[in-house]
């Protein structure tokens, strides 16, 4: 079975029912664009999550009774903890130095006469998920000499949990969009297959295998998915341009500043991804609808 013949047959079908093809292409493009928007939303949420997580820093305030060797052994134990990226020790004296820059605080400290500021440890973590941070803080609190532990506390925790929930919603939305796109596309392809049922009947009676009948529809589905992906990517780019113009001129906010350094490469990847998803949707849609027709 020559591939060139199957491709030729696929394009013959494409030209024959132009209106249905346009309808199908429109449905494919819109579904992929919606999917692209949802994925962009997910990307945005991830960025905010990283931003919030970057702000999280665990600070351990040490009791004044803690001796230097005790503190050093404590720092070693902290460095050995798997998630710890770095530890910075701030002695009582350095803390006083840092705070003496502030006029009001300096006056307050002078009145007190002694240094009330505790020594502290600033600890950077690698994976700052709420669970990781909570586990780490609980682990820290078991050590003698640890006074108070601060990590941005409940607020960061709540924001991260909220973001996780939103991401879960976005994932459910993505799955429903993919499923509904497959259903819509499969139904439109069913219409096209139905319109060609007589031709399929003729082919079957003269001995065409299911593969021979299915081939052009699959090629057509993949092609349409790729074009749909390209159109969706184009539409998303237009939406981005409009948003950028609006935010710059109406809100005075430059959205370009939010983009990562390799934004161009990522956009190309996104376009290729949308085309691939389109090809997959087209392929599955064709397989489902032609399979249904062939089983009748």
Partner 1 sequence: MIQFHHVFMTYQHEFKALRDIDLNIERGEFVMITGPSGAGKSTLIRLISREILPTRGQIIIFEQNIAKLKPRQLPLYRRRIGVVFQDFRLLYDRTASENVALTLRILGHGGRTMTREVNQALGRVGLQKKKNQKPWHLSGGEMQRVVLARAIVHDPPLLLADEPTGNLDFATGWEMMQLLKQVTDTGTTVICTTHNLNFIQKMRKRTLFLDKGILRGERNRVHGA
Residues that bind partner 1 (CB under 8 A): 1-2, 5, 12, 16, 198-199, 201-210, 212
Specify the residue, 126 or 202, whose C-beta has the smaller distance to partner 1. 202
**Locus of tokens 């999550």:** 49
Torsion sign over Cα 258, 264, 267, 269: negative
Q: Which contacts (CB < 8 Å, 24+ apart) does range 87-93 have?
A: 87/121, 87/122, 87/123, 87/124, 88/121, 88/122, 88/123, 89/119, 89/120, 89/121, 90/119, 90/120, 90/121, 90/122, 91/119, 92/64, 92/117, 92/118, 92/119
Q: How far is the CB of 28 from partner 1 (least distance, A)?
A: 24
Shortest spacing between CB 5 and partner 1, in angstroms? 6
Alpha-carbon distances of 284 from 33, 260, 269, 275, rounded to whole Å: 18, 34, 22, 14
- Which pair of structure tokens corresponds to residue 258? 């939010």
Least separation, in Å, of the C-beta of 18 and partner 1?
Answer: 13
Residue 95 or 203: the one with the smaller Cβ distance to partner 1 is: 203
Please give the Cα distance from 185 to 25 (Å, whole number). 9
Nearer to partner 1, 2 or 257 (CB): 2
Which lies closer to partner 1 via its Cβ, residue 53 or residue 293?
A: 293
Of the two residues 143 and 212, which places its CB atom closer to partner 1 in the complex? 212
Q: Are 259 and 183 in contact (CB under 8 A)?
A: no
* Nearest to partner 1 of 206, 261 (CB atom): 206
Sheet (strand 146-150) strand order: 84-90, 120-125, 58-62, 146-150
* Closer Cβ to partner 1, 128 or 196, answer by number: 196
DSSP alpha helix (H) spans, the chain:
3-16, 18-55, 68-80, 92-99, 103-112, 130-141, 153-195, 197-205, 210-246, 263-295
Q: Point out which residues pair with 62 in neighbouring strands.
A: 146
- Minimum distance of partner 1 from residue 212's CB (angstroms): 6
Q: How far is the CB of 220 from partner 1 (least distance, A)?
A: 15
Cβ atoms of 213 and 6 closer than 8 Å? no
Minimum separation from the CB atom of position 288 to partner 1 (A): 18
Q: Give least dist CB 221 to partner 1, A.
A: 20
């Amino acid at each position: 079975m020559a591939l060139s013949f199957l491709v030729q047959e696929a394009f013959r079908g494409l030209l024959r029912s132009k209106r249905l093809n346009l309808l199908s292409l429109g449905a494919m493009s819109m579904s992929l664009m919606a999917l692209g928007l949802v994925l962009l939303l997910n990307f945005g949420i991830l960025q905010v999550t990283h931003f919030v997580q970057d702000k999280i820093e665990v600070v351990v305030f040490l009791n004044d009774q803690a001796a230097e060797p005790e503190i050093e052994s404590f720092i070693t134990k902290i460095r050995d903890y798997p998630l710890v990226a770095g530890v910075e020790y701030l002695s009582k004296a350095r803390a006083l130095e840092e705070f003496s820059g502030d006029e009001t605080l300096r006056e307050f400290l002078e009145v007190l006469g002694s240094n009330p500021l505790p020594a502290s440890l600033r600890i950077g973590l690698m994976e700052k998920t709420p669970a990781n941070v909570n586990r780490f803080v609980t682990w820290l609190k078991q050590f003698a000499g640890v006074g108070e532990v601060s990590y941005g506390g409940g607020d960061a925790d709540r924001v991260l949990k909220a973001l996780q929930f939103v991401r879960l919603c976005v994932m459910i939305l993505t799955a429903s969009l993919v499923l509904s796109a497959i259903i819509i596309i499969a139904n439109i392809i069913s219409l096209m297959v139905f319109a060609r049922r007589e031709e399929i009947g003729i082919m079957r009676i003269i001995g065409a295998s299911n593969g021979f009948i299915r081939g052009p529809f699959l090629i057509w589905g993949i092609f349409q998915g790729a074009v749909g992906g390209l159109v969706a990517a184009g539409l998303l780019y237009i939406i981005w341009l409009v948003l950028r113009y609006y935010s710059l001129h109406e809100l005075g906010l430059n959205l370009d500043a939010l983009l990562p350094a390799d934004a161009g490469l990522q956009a190309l990847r996104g376009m290729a991804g949308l085309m691939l998803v389109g090809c997959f949707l087209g392929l599955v849609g064709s397989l489902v609808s032609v399979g249904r027709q062939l089983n009748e």
